[in-house]
Structure formats: C-alpha cells, structure tokens
Amino acid sequence: MLRGLLSGVAGRWRQRRLLVPSTDKGEAKIAVSRVAHSYRDVEALKNVTLNIHHGEFVCLLGPSGCGKTTLLYALAGQVSPTFGNITIDGEPVKGPSPDRLLMFQEAALFPWLTVRQNLHFALRSKERSKRRREDLVRKYIRRVQLEGFEDALPHQLSAGMRMRVSLARALTMNPAVLLMDEPFAALDAQTRGQMHQLLQRVWLETRKTVVFVTHDVREALVLGDRVVVMAMRPGHILTDLEVRLPRPRDPDDEKLVLMSRQIREMLRRAGAAERPGPEEVEERDGQGEGPPVARSVPTRAPRPVGARF
Amino acid sequence: MAASLVRMIADGRLPAAIARSLGRLAQGYFLSVALGVPLGLLIAQLPRFRQVVRPLVMGLQALPSITWLPLAILWFGLSDAAIVFVVVMGSLLAIAIASEGAVQQMNPLLSMQARALGVEGFRYYSGVLLPGAFPGIVTGLKLGWSFAWRALMAGELLFVSGGLGQLLHVGRELLDLSQVMAVMLGIIAVGVAVDRLLFETLELRVRRRWGLLAPS
C-alpha cells in the first residue's frame, strides 16, 4: 500500500514536471497584447496576452466557441481585433500576408490545377526563377511523400493526401509563421495519426514557428511545445503549459494520456464553473477508442475583414 | 421540302447564308464574351460597382434584344454593325449575369486561401476568380450563345441583308413553303450542332477537370 502511495506521488510529481506553466523566454516573435474582439454583441476574445517565440510549436486548445480560431485569424490578419495589439517580429499585423500563412480545415487547393501546378501557382508571386521554383516544389513534394502524384488533380487524391499537398504548398512559401486552423479535424483517426507523425517530422526538420488551433487535447499534446488552453464566454486564456516530452511523440504514450486527462479535467472544471451546457471539448479516453465521430461543430470561420480585391 | 433543301445546298445559297450568319454571330458573340465575362466578375467583386450596374443590367436584360434594332439602325445605319449590335445586346447581359452568379457560387475558401498566399490583383482575377468560376461561366456562355442565335435570326428577318434570316424572308415573299421549312431546318441544324459539338464537349471537359463529375 505504501508502495502504491509512493508511486502515485512520484507519478504526480513526474507529471507536473512534464507539463509546466510556460515561462517567458526573452524576445517574442509573435506578441499578442491585451487583445479583445467582438462580433457585434458577442465577445469572442477578452484581454488575451500571449508571447510566442521563434521556432515554437504552440497549440491553441479549447472548446468550440472559445475564440481560438478568432485569435488565429487575428494573427493571420484576416480579422482585425477591436482592441489590443498584435505584432510579429515587431511589426503590427495589418491584413493577410504570405509571411504568416494560414492553413484551413480544408486543403483549399485550386481544383483546376494539378498538385505541381498548385504549388507553383502559390510560389510564383514569391520566387521569380523557374528553376528554383521547381527545385523547391520537388523538395517539398518529397518531404510530404507525394512523389508520383505531381500530375494528379486534387479530386483524384484522398483527403489526407490533399492536406499533405496543402502543407507542402505552405512550406514552399517559407513563411515566418505557419498558422493552422484545425487542419486535421476533418480527417479520419488513422489518417490524422499519420499526419501528426508527418507534421512532427517536418517540423523537426524545419523548426518553423507554428500556431496550431485544435479542440483535440491529445492532438495538442502530441504536436505542441506549448499548449495554450482557452476557455469561453468570453474567450480568454485559462492556462499556458509547456509540454516536456521528447519527440517524436506517440499519442498512446502513457504519460501523454495522463497529461491529456489532466487538461480535460481542467477544461471541464472551467466549463462547469462558467455555464451549464454541453461539454464541447472532444473526449477521447484510453486506448480503445471507437471510430472517430465528427463531434467538432463545423467551425464557422470568422468573417474576414480588411482589404478586398 | 427535302428537294428544296438539296437544291439550296447544291446552288450554294444555304451554305453561303449560313456562313454569312455565322460570321456575324461570331463577331457579336465574341464581343459579348469579351465584355460580358469581365463585367460579371467586376459586378461580383466590387460592391460599389454592383450597386450601380447590377440593377441596370437586370433591367436591360428584361428587354427583348430585337427591340434594340431600330436604335441600332439609327446609330449604325443599315450595316452589319447594326445586326452585330443587336446580337451583342442579346447575349452580353445574360453572360454577365451568369458570370456574376458563377463567382457567387464559388467556394469562398479559395478566395481566402488565395489572399493568404498573397495572390492579388490581376493574378487573382485571372488565376483564381476566372478559373474558379469557370464551370458556371461555361453554362453562361452556352446560354449566351442561344440568346445570340435568336437575336441574330430576329435581326436578319427584319432587316434584310443576306444570311439565313433573309433566305427565310425571301421564301415567304415567294410563298415558297418548302424553302421556308428547309431554312428553318437549317437553323435548327446549326443551333443543335454548335450546342452539342462545342458547348457540351467544353462543359464536359471543364467539369471533368474541375472534379465536378462523379468518377465513372
């Protein structure tokens, strides 16, 4: 019994060490300072302050409607917040720019272009030399393991492959910051797992600064250096945790499962304290989970504002 | 009627008339496409422009194109230009309206993605908006063509200057029923041929490329 108690304490202690409140590490690449945003009378974000450092993989985690997507769109410049400042590399964010590239829940490929043409089209505004463009395209097609599909049209590919094309397209643009809005939410569990492995590998190779929005606790823990947990009404940051697990991470890792339980518990408490209502954070317990249920409410993208064509 | 048809083909009257009519049609139609598609895209993209131009386009669309003929004759005289003008007025607005609708039906995610990728200005119009709306535009082009064809026939009937319409008119003057019917047959043949050969193929190809067909 004593042993049980001891191991329980040790486990807790270890756990706490694996998931620590994140500390400020010097100069921020992305600085979000006291940002608030309202859609008419709905307060989507309130007093959000967040610093993201160069080369960090940050997951914004929270239930649907907690403002995480709004925050991401504000970083992308698709939404201009009603209050507060966002700077990237010291420059205030004004309108969308390929330097902080936004990836959506869908692959959003141009259906009339082949895989190769999709990559080239995006790159043309950035890279003038055709030779260099071709090299880049080849390199990233290899990186997302799509060799042999260069001349396929998007509708001939599976959803997972389309997402890989989208990822390759984003990477060829070599943005300073990559912003991802639940990019794998629409995929089946198996493909999603593969995408996690792929993204981890690509990230280890490129060390991009990534902000990744998700409502799936385990996805956040598998991918993120930091997990910023958000709660709703109005959207605010509940806690900002650092994940200290070696990569590549396995979603079924015991420690990771434990951590995810801890975070879910935290979210449940926050949810219960604020409102009676359905718990919307995806619950995925233990190993033996059933087929993925599309539990995510189809995310309503915030209305983009700013420059029109 | 068959004999009349064969005779008119043999003495070259029917082919010449068809060539003449199609020549006019081509001028008017290409002018309509060249103006109508950009007009439609602009109406869809620029809210200010839409507020002013859209009601105008919708109003004029309600006007049967042949009613432009008197005005056209006053402006251009008894020339081919007058008939071409009628053809343009017949199809331009339909093409513009269809193009606008095609843009509205486009997946909005593609425009957002284009913006996120930094695709702007002319490259956005020509590389994203136009191809994105293209399946819908093709449907508009088909519609525009049938309007153009009707406008042309009406114009040629009223304003005699060669072409299939005139042949029809002459048949009526001579009380030659078989010639009238033979020419009508010719008009149907041309209409169906263009519709089937040109537009059906184009539509099918576009839909296949864009992934809008169920895989067979």
Model confidence over A82-116: pLDDT tens digits? 888 888 887 887 877 888 888 888 888 999 999 99
Cα–Cα distance, A240 to A21 (Å, whole number): 6
What is the spatial distance between Cα A183 and Cα A71, in angstroms, rounded to a whole number? 16
Please enumerate in sequence order all residues whose Cβ is within 8 A of that of B201, keeping only pairs 6 or more positions apart, or say none. none
Average pLDDT over residues B149-163: 83
**Does some domain include residue B160?**
yes
Q: Considering the domain boundaries, does residue B177 fall inside one?
A: yes
Element (H, E) at A119: helix A115-124
Q: Which residue of B has its CA nearest to A124?
A: B119
The pLDDT value given to residue A213: 92
A107 contact residues in B (CB cutoff 8 A): none
- Residue B216 domain-assigned? no
On whether residue B132 sits in a domain, the answer given is: yes
- Tell which wins on pLDDT, A3 or B61: B61
Residues of A in contact with B125 (CB under 8 A): 309
Nearest beta carbon to residue A173 from set B117, B121, B132: B117
Residues 6 or more apart in contact with residue B188 via CB below 8 angstroms: none
Q: Please indicate, yes or no, if residue B98 is contained in any of the structural domains.
A: yes
pLDDT at A252: 82
Does residue B127 lie in a domain region? yes
Tell me, what's the pLDDT at A206? 83
For residues A108 and B112, give the distance between their C-alpha atoms in angstroms, rounded to a whole number.
Answer: 9
pLDDT at position A290: 38
* Phi, psi of B46, rounded to the nearest 5 degrees: -110, 110
- State the complex-level ipTM: 0.78
Give the B window 10-29 contacts with A, CB below 8 Å: none
User: Rounded to an integer, what distance in angstroms lies between the CA atom of residue A226 and that of residue A101?
Assistant: 20
Q: List the structure tokens of B118.
A: 């930094």
Of A31, A30, A42, whose CA–CA distance to A82 is shortest?
Answer: A42
Q: What is the pLDDT of residue B40?
A: 92
Segments of chain A scoring below 50 in pLDDT:
277-300, 305-309
Averaged over B109-116, what is the pLDDT?
A: 87
Q: Which residues contact A142 (CB under 8 A, 6 or more apart)?
A: none
Distance between terminal CA atoms of chain B?
Answer: 43
Among chain A, residues having any CB pair with chain B shorter than 8 Å are 76, 78, 96-98, 101-102, 104, 106, 108, 110-112, 121-122, 124-126, 153-156, 169, 173, 301, 304, 307-309
pLDDT of residue A4: 59
Quote the domain boundaries for residue B103: 2-209
What CATH number did the domain enclosing B166 receive? 1.10.3720.10
In angstroms, the Cα distances linking A289 to A194, A260, A283, B13, B134 are 17, 15, 10, 78, 44
CA-nearest residue to A114 within chain B is B209
Of B109, B111, B127, the CB nearest to A106: B109
Out of B115, B120, B209, name the one closest to residue A112 (CB): B209
Say which residues have a Cβ less than 8 Å from residue B40's Cβ, sequence separation at least 6: B95, B96, B97, B98, B99, B100, B101, B102, B103, B137, B140
pLDDT score of A297: 40
**Looking at the partner chain, which of A76, A106, A156 has a beta carbon nearest the beta carbon of B116?**
A76
The letter for the amino acid at B173 is E
Q: What pLDDT shows up at residue A3?
A: 60
Q: Which residue of B has its CA nearest to A301?
A: B109
Number of domains in chain B: 1
pLDDT for A228: 87
B167: how many CB neighbours lie within 10 A of its CB? 25
Residue B10 lies in a domain: yes
Q: How far is A82 from chain B (nearest CA, A)?
A: 21
Tell whether B63 is covered by a domain: yes
Lowest average pLDDT, out of A87-91, B72-76, B206-210, B211-215, goes to B211-215
The confidence band for B43, taking pLDDT boundaries of 50, 70 and 90, is very high
pLDDT(B161) > 80: no
**pLDDT score at A205:** 85
Cβ–Cβ under 8 Å, residues A225 and A57: yes
Interface check for B214 against chain A (CB to CB < 8 A): the answer is: no
What is the pLDDT at residue A302? Answer: 54
Contact A175, A145 (CB under 8 A): no
Whole-number pLDDT of residue A16: 56
Average pLDDT over residues B150-156: 88
Which residues is A43 bridged to in the sheet? A38
For residues A231, A36, A297 and A165, what is the CA-based torsion angle, rounded to 10 degrees?
-110
**Do residues B167 and B183 make contact, with C-beta atoms less than 8 angstroms apart?**
yes
Q: At what angle do helices A159-172 and A115-124 cross, to 10 degrees?
A: 30
Q: Residue A61: name the closest of A179, A196, A235, A213 by CA.
A: A213
* Residue B99 near residue B130, CB atoms below 8 Å: no
Interchain contact, A112 vs B210, CB within 8 Å? yes
Compare all CA atoms of chain A with the CA of B47 and give the residue at the minimum distance. A308
